[in-house]
Amino acid sequence: MAPSLDPIAALSQQLEEFFTGQRAHASQFGAEARMLVDAAAGAVSGGKRLRARFCLAGWQSVAEHAGQTGGPGLAVIGAAAALEVFHAAALVHDDIIDNSDTRRGHSSAHRSLQALHEQRGWDGESVAFGRAGGILLGDLLVALSDDLLETALQSLPSQLAGPARAQYATMRRDVTIGQFLDVAEESAHITVPDHEHAARALQVASLKSARYSVEQPLLIGARLAGADQEQLASLSAFGQPVGMAFQLRDDVLGVFGDADVTGKPAGDDLREGKRTVLVAYAREALPAGARRSLDELIGDPELDDAQIEMLRRTIADSGALSRVEDLIEEYVRAADRALAGAPLGNAAVGRLRDLARAAAVRAA
């Protein structure tokens, strides 16, 4: 039976009920175990629910074309919820890797655990506790995402559950490899010819974000609706460029975004040493001396506001910002073309186009 609530509201309700059960389970192990589950619930709260929205849109596009009436059932809502929990795990681990203090305008998960250690007067180093706790919190969230997914798939026939499960597994593997390549590039870039930097950055963007944030959630939802190969190919051809536009927009916001809107300090990607397409394009346009200066500054965690502003000007004046903006528009146009004549529900195609524009044109 389909939930009577709006799908995103139904998803939020399912997550709330799920974590209520997890808190009850953890309470038998004491206050510290409950603290970890509370942190998990907090990590899942908020955000744009982007992956869930694309999962639901993938299901709707196939279901509507098949003439199915009504909204997504609890199995589809559960799969979308699992994606959001897995995403929370990725963010928790990402913030540890990047040594980020904030997420969505609040303390990042490992910093919150560090603060709890300090507030309670516990023994040992609070920083080490926060990092260790954050790693384990991310691991717990991965396990919880599996629990949600398997519970969701129990009610479905094997011909739907099996392909959806396999798609989810592919997503998990690819994003982990993409995350490692992102970390590796911050060190390996000095051994790579300059003309290869942009291509390598685009590969990271594809694995770490485009497939994971848009394409794979779409395909998971579509498989839950029984999509055929032509429908899957159309959604993939749409989802990959939308995901690339989404990540490139993130790259722009990581350098030029308003901290009050993004919830992260201005220029954080520059302090963290992110070797994005934006940086690669700037390096291509700069003379050798300016390129060396750029390389020396990017990745310095102590960059002050004046240095950040100077780097912003350098990147913008190089033409890199305009070039990335043009590439974002090119990806959005490619995604739109992929939907032309696709065997998908007409109303759902309109929603897909709206989601594509929202992913590419945003301030946070």
Residue 311 lies in a domain: yes
| Separation between Cα atoms, residue 110 and residue 95, nearest integer Å | 8
Residue 203 lies in a domain: yes
Number of domains into which the chain is organized = 1
- Contact call for residues 75 and 155 (beta carbons, < 8 A): yes
Query: Residue 1's pLDDT is what?
Result: 41
| Separation between Cα atoms, residue 363 and residue 328, nearest integer Å | 14
Q: What is the CATH number of the domain that holds 337?
A: 1.10.600.10
Average pLDDT over residues 213-236: 98
Residue 244 lies in a domain: yes
Task: With CA atoms as reference, report the closest residue to 8 among 355, 336, 362, 261.
Answer: 355
Task: With CA atoms as reference, report the closest residue to 83 among 205, 221, 246, 250.
Answer: 221
Residue 2 lies in a domain: no
Average pLDDT over residues 15-29: 97
Average pLDDT over residues 334-339: 97
Residue 172 lies in a domain: yes
Question: Which CA distances in Å does 161 have to 74, 171, 195?
Answer: 13, 15, 44
- Contact call for residues 155 and 174 (beta carbons, < 8 A): no
Residue 193 lies in a domain: yes
pTM: 0.94
Query: Residue 4's pLDDT is what?
Result: 53
Could you tell me the sign of the dihedral formed by the alpha carbons of 102, 103, 106, 108, in that order?
Answer: negative
Structural domain for 284, as ranges? 7-360
Residue 91 lies in a domain: yes
